[in-house]
Structure 1
Amino acid sequence: MSSAPPFLTRFLLRLRQWADAGWSNTVVLGWGLLQGCIFPGLADLFFLPLALARPERAYRLALVATAGTVIGSILLYWVGAEALSVLEGPLARFFNYSPEAFTEYRARLAEYGAWAILASTLSPLSTKLTSIASGAIGVPFAAFAAALLAGRLTRTLALAWLVRNGGAQAVARWTGASADNTRDRGSPPS
């Protein structure tokens, strides 16, 4: 007998059905891209439930989710880089920022900006804002991309490891849904 509400069991079974439908990679990549550059929300919204539904696919889904969010964040970096001329021009004059202040700020970001990117990818902080700011202020692209990739890979691969090493089994035990439940019973209950 499971301690989970019945709707969670039905939801997990539905996720397994969706994961078996063959489009989970596309959904995870698409959501990662959209979340990386447009929509607010958790980057792991589709990756984590689909990985829990089919833990044997967790690492592949982690890599796909990482690719989507990295592409989206790189797009925002370039948007921010294009906005730099506006920041240095009329906006800087409006707020009384001198060219020297921008040069000093850029030097600090060149030194420490990658750490800010890494922190934003590992935390619930918005990577979108950090990506735009990095491009706008002039964090070197190589440092930005390396920190972004390292942070996203660390996060998604750690979650995939948790799914594969007990997380999926704990969820299945809690909901009372065995790993082969959808194959044995056909479609999940409605």
Structure 2
Amino acid sequence: MLRRLYDWTMSLASRKSAEVWLGIISFVESSVFLVPADVLFLPMALAKPEKVWRYAIIATITSVLGGIAGWVLGYYAYESVARPILEFYGKADAFDQLRQSVSYETIVLLLVTSGLAHLPPIKIVTILSGVVHVDIWLFIISAIVARGARFFFLAWLLQRYGEPIRHFIEKRLGLIAAGGAVVLILLYAAFHVLAV
């Protein structure tokens, strides 16, 4: 099923309505969808490199709006709407464990790491942010920074290196972003240890 979903998402890149689909996929990825917007963003940017910055703006704005939708689901409708979505993806138990083991500051850090590297998946952190009542303005600013950094970094790589970087991105960007996320987490932990 996941492979068919991925193939369908890739097929959207060649359509005239690709920008609309990029916005839709970016929006729903941040709250309920399984496939990241990158799988549509990459082929679109390679097919029309002159529009790469436009695509980054579309993906960032709609991803942040989708994140707000996830926050609203967590804040106002966790039991009735968000929990069934998490159960559908088999993430409800992991979500509950995460919810019980993190502080407010950690959730803000997770929002940045998930926005950059999908660690944990962005939809889980946006819903969790609403459940624990992360301030909506702090949430929005964090989402803009994290999602914007991801899409604009991808845009820069694709514009600078073109097709050869696509394979690198598809295979290793997750590892690089995860490495960056680990550095952020270690810096956060070091700050807390030194502050005590």
| The two structures share one fold, judged by TM-score above 0.5 | yes
Equivalent of residue 128 in structure 1, options 102, 108, 123: 123
Q: Hey, what does 2:136 align to over in structure 1?
A: 141
Instruction: Give 2:109's aligned residue.
Output: 115
Query: Residue type of the partner of 1:68?
Result: T
CA contact (8 A) 1:44 1:65 kept: no
Give, in whole Å, the separation in 2 of the partners of 1:85 and 1:137. Answer: 13
Q: Show the counterpart of 1:61.
A: 55
Shift of 1:35: 1.8
SS at match of 2:39: coil
Are the structure 2 counterparts of residues 74 and 15 from structure 1 closer, same or farther at C-alpha, using a change threshold of 3 Å?
A: closer
Q: How does 1:1-190 map to 2 (within 5 A)?
A: 18=14, 21=16, 23-83=17-77, 108-109=103-104, 111-125=105-119, 126-168=121-163, 170=164
Number of residue pairs aligned between Structure 1 and Structure 2: 138
* One-letter identity of the residue aligned with 1:39: F
Q: Within 2, Cα distance between the matches of 1:25 and 1:77?
A: 24
Normalised TM-score (structure 1): 0.63
What is the letter of the counterpart of residue 79 of structure 1?
Answer: L
More helix by share: 2
Cross-structure match for 1:179: none
Q: Which amino acid aligns with 1:58?
A: V
Q: Partners of 1:55 and 1:46 in 2: how far apart?
A: 14
Provide the rounded CA distance (Å) in 1 between the counterparts of 2:29 and 2:107. Answer: 22
* 1:15–1:50 contact (8 Å) kept in structure 2: no
How far did 1:114 drift? 2.0
- 1:34 deviation in Å? 2.2
1:123-166: CA deviation from partner (whole Å, max 9, x where unpaired): 13211000111100111111111111100000000000001001
CA distance in 2, matches of 1:67, 1:118: 16
Structure 1 pair 156–171 and aligned structure 2 pair: CA distance change class (3 A): closer
Residue 93 (structure 2) aligns with:
none
CA shift, 1:79, in A, is 1.0
Larger RCO (CA within 8 A; separation ≥ 6): 1
1:112 CA drift (Å): 4.0
- In the alignment, the residues of structure 1 paired with residue 46 and residue 126 of structure 2 have an alpha-carbon distance, to the nearest angstrom, of 29
CA contact (8 A) 1:15 1:53 kept: no
What root-mean-square deviation, in Å, do the aligned CA atoms of Structure 1 and Structure 2 show? Answer: 3.0
TM-score, normalization by structure 2: 0.61
Question: Partner letter of residue 30 of structure 1?
Answer: I
Structure 2 residues not aligned, in runs of 5+? 1-9, 81-98, 167-196
**Distance in 2 separating the partners of 1:35 and 1:84:** 17
